[in-house]
């Protein structure tokens, strides 16, 4: 799952200037305190990840509902912690 997230970020980074690219190491904070994604970046990330998951699994897996913050209950979300959320969603 981390690789899928990195692939999505690589796709987003392709459209960003070098100084604004999002690092893809596991400890990179995506959302929350010190996060690299603003609200538009989060929306783009979620939509791109939904599309990648659908291509890989053949089923639509919505990620953009309210339980994102409920599941994490943390001040920040990293590349390493996001697969926990994805696993939860895939079990639905």
pLDDT, one tens digit per residue, over 51-92 is 998 998 888 888 776 555 555 556 788 899 888 877 777 776
φ, ψ at 86 (rounded to 5°): -60, -40
pTM above threshold 0.85: no
pLDDT digits (tens, 9 = 90+) for 11-39: 999 999 999 999 999 999 998 889 999 88
Task: In whole angstroms, give the CA distance from residue 27 to residue 70.
Answer: 21
């Amino acid at each position: 799952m981390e690789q899928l997230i990195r692939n999505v970020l690589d796709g987003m980074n392709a459209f960003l200037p070098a100084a604004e690219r999002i690092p893809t190491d596991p400890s990179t904070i995506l959302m929350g305190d010190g996060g690299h994604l603003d609200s538009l970046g989060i929306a783009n990330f979620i939509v791109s990840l939904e599309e990648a998951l659908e291509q890989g699994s053949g089923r639509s897996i919505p990620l953009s509902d309210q339980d994102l913050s409920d599941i994490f209950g943390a001040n920040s979300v990293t590349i390493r912690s996001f697969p926990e959320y994805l696993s939860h969603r895939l079990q639905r």
